Structure 1
């Protein structure tokens, strides 16, 4: 490479570096000084939405741990019923809806909008669903149920979520119907799960 060509290459690289630095400083200033609108009535920029979704999906995949095995099947009707009762009583239905049940109006105005679990569950494995229910997801409105639910209850919620895509409205109503004089008791954060549910 001739000295002239080398100087041109150096100038070009320097110009690119200056432009990139200016963009970074400009974006940082734009966000730091409050120009970025965080109102839920405004859609996020495509880049922001893509970044948050990518961070979320990769984080769930990394932290969930995929060696979880259960001796008890998630098709167990009693597990599905227990999960359904929690789904109804904890208010999950307001954000995610259910068979024949629309989400609450406020959920439609959340950013990001809570997913339709009938579709979202198909993209996640059992360990990922469990991790999400146990830990929640920052900046989405999804709470962590781990501090208030034991492992058996969390797995029951996973079992119910797995059943959602093929569940009819009448089946949903039957599963989530609270029997007279009771329903089910909250665990209060204590872990009484049998060994088959422990990771």
Structure 2
């Protein structure tokens, strides 16, 4: 190995060691503020969003969605969404719910997400959650069938007006109602 190659390798080695030391300094000094009230710098936010989107696409790509929108499926999904999701994901035409105001990153508007994401991606996110956000993994609480019901409901959100949502809310019994037959 010639002298130039040795110098380049030594420089790269020293650079890598300095990068590791800098990372440990940031991690263990507490200088990086992890408070949810701190906005991420735009470059960091871009990296995090790109990482999230690529991961969702990769992990959902082989999921085969069942037929969606069957008899009662959307209403079953609505019941679950109304009970467990609206605390963070506002229904059509509604303001951000109080629970969601402190989330960083903020919970996405499902009206837009349901239009942009495939059913498989919606299923994967709902089932597995998103690490480092407020999105839990619902696989511990819901069956895959129930998650697909929620996906069927979410797919209707882009076409749903606030009046449509209110009508559905009035028509579909709440959990625990004497008239609630599942």
Shorter-chain TM-score bucket reads 0.7 to 0.9
* Unmatched segments (≥5 aa) in structure 1: 1-5, 186-199
121 and 24 in structure 1: CA distance in 2 versus 1, 3 angstrom threshold? farther
- Corresponding residue number in structure 1 for 2:107: 114
* Count of residue correspondences: 178
- Corresponding residue number in structure 2 for 1:82: 76
61 and 82 in structure 1: CA distance in 2 versus 1, 3 angstrom threshold? same
Q: TM-score, normalising length from structure 1? A: 0.75
Structure 1 runs (4+) greater than 4 angstroms displaced:
6-10
- Corresponding residue number in structure 1 for 2:125: 132
* Unmatched segments (≥5 aa) in structure 2: none
Which stretch shows the higher mean deviation, 176-185 or 116-125? 176-185
Cα pair 1:64 1:127 within 8 Å, conserved? yes
Cα pair 1:93 1:103 within 8 Å, conserved? no
Q: Residues of 2 paired with 1:27 and 1:45: CA distance?
A: 17
- Among candidates 35, 45, 50, match of residue 49 of structure 1: 45
Q: Residue 158 of structure 1 aligns to a residue in which SS?
A: helix
Q: Residue 75 of structure 1 aligns to a residue in which SS?
A: coil
Tell me how large the CA RMSD over aligned residues is. Answer: 2.6
Which structure has the larger Rg? 1
Q: TM-score, normalising length from structure 2? A: 0.82
